[in-house]
Amino acid sequence: EAKRAGRGCLRFFDPAMQAAVEARSALEAELRTALACRQFQLVYQLQVGDRSAALGAEALVRWHHPQRGVIGPTEFIALAEETGLIVPLGRVLLEQVCEQLCAWERDADLDDLTVALNISARELHEPDFVDFVLATLARTGAPVRRLKLELTESALVGDVDDIAARMHRLRDHGVGFSLDDFGTGFSSLSYLKRLPFDQLKIDRSFVRDILEDTVDARLSRAIVALAASLGLSVVAEGVELAAQGDMLREFGCRQFQGFLYGVPMPAAEFSSVLRAARREAGAVV
């Protein structure tokens, strides 16, 4: 672009733009180091069913930066996707999730928990994605039926038949699929016909204003009805207030996730909080 603009074009030397380019490549270099130094850890956020019974957790990545402390995924996932680093990162995270599932499997108080892991488009479209997931499950001995993969609508672009084939191979082994951030993308409903999802996830943006905004309330109710008529389960994300959960329950939603039930926590903390709650409740939770 600088070339086409001709000689004497100062845009290329715009200090702000230059600084942004440098910051980006610095972050990319740091991401590579972080991966090699195992600075990525998953935190787990509770997902509950009827009467707040714990069903499992969504795993969410955190970067433990040696200088900057804990960094959330919104600050680095997009760059990891653009650079392709999401592929090796995703593999490390899948291994972590499988090891966690094994640890819970060995724990009589927690052996029924499921884990949902977010998968980016780049990961799903890797030629050996399915082989890697199946090999990791087999190598770790993780309970396959307890693993759920969350895909967003943006991951579903491209060859839908190929995506369907990948999903079917994993589903044949017992892996579940949830359609994350449902209703926020621009995909057509025909994806629901062609791809074997088990669950729709109502996006936080609908839940946030559900009590004040009748359109958000109606859309949430419509998503619950759509899921029911297709035989899919539905989980609402971003539930912060009891009244939001009550309204969603009235619409027929039976699974919930959000700060109301629990914030994302490191595995050890998640396990001990849940174990204590279950023992106190006589294993009802």
Site size for ligand C2E (CB under 6 A) = 24
Which of 27, 35, 60, 211 binds ligand C2E (CB under 6 A)? It is: 60
Between 74 and 229, name the residue whose CB sits nearer to ligand C2E.
Answer: 74
CA atoms of 7 and 124, how far apart (whole Å): 44
CA atoms of 116 and 47, how far apart (whole Å): 10
Between 114 and 120, name the residue whose CB sits nearer to ligand C2E.
Answer: 120
* Binder of residue 73, out of Mg ion, ligand C2E, none (CB less than 5 to 8 A by kind): ligand C2E
Q: With binding defined as CB under 5 A, does residue 153 bind Mg ion? A: no
Between 66 and 72, name the residue whose CB sits nearer to ligand C2E.
Answer: 72
Using CB under 6 A as the binding rule, the residues of this chain from 146 to 175 that contact ligand C2E are 150
CA atoms of 221 and 250, how far apart (whole Å): 9
Site string for ligand C2E, 245-284 (x = CB under 6 A): -------------xx----x--------------------
Write the DSSP string, 126-191.
STTHHHHHHHHHHHHT--GGGEEEEEEGGGG-S-HHHHHHHHHHHHHTT-EEEEEEETSS---THH
Integer angstrom CA distances of residue 266 from 57, 76, 118, 185: 11, 19, 17, 30
Q: With binding defined as CB under 6 A, does residue 61 bind ligand C2E? A: yes
CB of 97 to ligand C2E, least distance (A): 9
The residue count for the chain: 285
